[in-house]
Structure 1
Amino acid sequence: MTISFEGRVAIVTGAGGGLGRAYALELARRGAKVVVNDLGAARDGTGQSDAALKVVEEIEQAGGTAMANGGSVTDEGQMVEMVAKAKEAWGAVHVLINNAGILRDKSFTKMTMDDWRLVVDVHLTGSATATKAVWDMMREQNYGRILMTASSTGLYGNFGQANYGAAKLGLAGFTKTLYLEGAKYNVKVNTIAPVAGTRMTEDIFPPEAFKAFAPENVVPAALFLVSEDAPTNQIVGAGAGFFHTAHVTMTKGKMLSAEDRTPEGVAAHWAEISDREGETVPKSGADQSMTILQSLQG
């Protein structure tokens, strides 16, 4: 069955190039009206350009419908205005892909707190600001698809990216609460962890790998995750045509006796506490409490 976005309105942040541009082009090709949001800054967050206008031109030349937006995801007023303009022009917003981001890579010892704050503000708080601007509308219309952009750095760590990793894992956690709050309103929320050759990574990958990791190879997962029949509360990794899911799991654990509830007791039973055989994927934070209660009763 062909996945179509006919009649849907989508916002893609950071869509002036790289992944965001690829998402916007394919959404438009499949029938969506697209708000191409981009501050047009360099990857460290400085400067501006007309990148969003160029992507709109590409979409229109291919017969699609789009509008450019130069608002910053860190500015609540600009995000509210962006959503209002989309609603005024096209009646609603059905899809939001939070893709905007910057890098300020340094080892933590050399990182300033300004470097920390700026990256967390753009990635984590910026995604919350854009999401907040569409959230009530999506609830009221009983339809919404939201995608957060995490990273392997957030899920698994990477030297020199403490600020970026903290923000990216924060987005996965943001998803895990929003999917619960949006469920009865048919608002589905997912997380993508892309590996792509973009201006953010062009000096990291060798040339051949850079080609293999073209943004277009991430697009299938992203569009599936914002489609009508999308799952919800998923973390999906995508790059070079390879796709996988990632999960926050819970081991079966070990209920310690009263005498063993000491640091020494935890040390003595560490192998059982951390044994991954039979681990589960909790659907909410309450599942952890329920597991503990069941152990108490058992």
Structure 2
Amino acid sequence: MTAPTLSDVETAAELIRPHVRRTPLLRATVDGRPLVLKLEHLQRTGSFKLRGALNALLSGDAPERVVTASGGNHGLGVATAAAILGLPATVYVPTSAPAGKVRRIEATGAEVIRHGAGYAEAAAAALAAARQPGTRHLHAYDDPAVIAGQGTMTVEILSDAPDTDAVVLAVGGGGLAAGAAAALGGRVPVVAVEPEGCPTLHTALAAGEPVDVAVDSGSAAASALGASRVGDLPFALLSSTPTRSVLVSDTELLAARDRLWEEFRLAVEPAAATPFAAWLAGRVDAETPCVVLCGANTDWAPAGN
């Protein structure tokens, strides 16, 4: 597999444009500091995942069916993309997948198969099922077409906020961050934020290669950022471009999620609040960062309610 380039991302942006929302930016000042919020949680399906799924299904030979594995958001993106294109879809999810995310996947008409306690087991089952002829297997983050599609979000950021000097986003398997790196081409750093209980990229950067990590399944963001290993393609992109790795605690990311609601009335899932948590904690070295709020697929109430 070859890592996508800026040209691939720009081609993806044109290809998926009729089917996705150009999500808005919100400029704000918090604690006396300016930032830009990319409201990608307002995307169709409630997360950026639709972008990559659509690009992958539109940019190659048309398959007869699509199979994937997901903790929730990628599965919903793939299922929705398949529905848009009139394709049957099967989504393997771990038994720990949140009920709200599973419900939304099933509502698209896709078949949902619960398999294994974690993402790795579900992914193995999906890969085995994808051996059927005519099937397109869509990896959640280690597929060049998926990564290029995710990078279209950053193209919008650069167009709408050319003064941004860092793109701050959450990392699970690394697809969104890799897409950002491809779109940025080294011009602006990526600040990759992970929960302390799911440090796949942080561990890989320290080791010099992707390695398996022990994921804390009890982490507040594990359902979305609970990959046990960063993807090979994402690692190749992120380790060769300006990337800063930051960790946040569950306490910090939940407080950030609640503050987004209290201050802006923005309702996001815990994983989506990790970049804002890093910025609030002073771990983002930038004058005008763009903090990405990447998803809102959860059933929640702010702490104290």
TM-score scaled by length of structure 2: 0.33
Higher relative contact order by CA 8 Å / sep ≥ 6: 1 or 2? 2
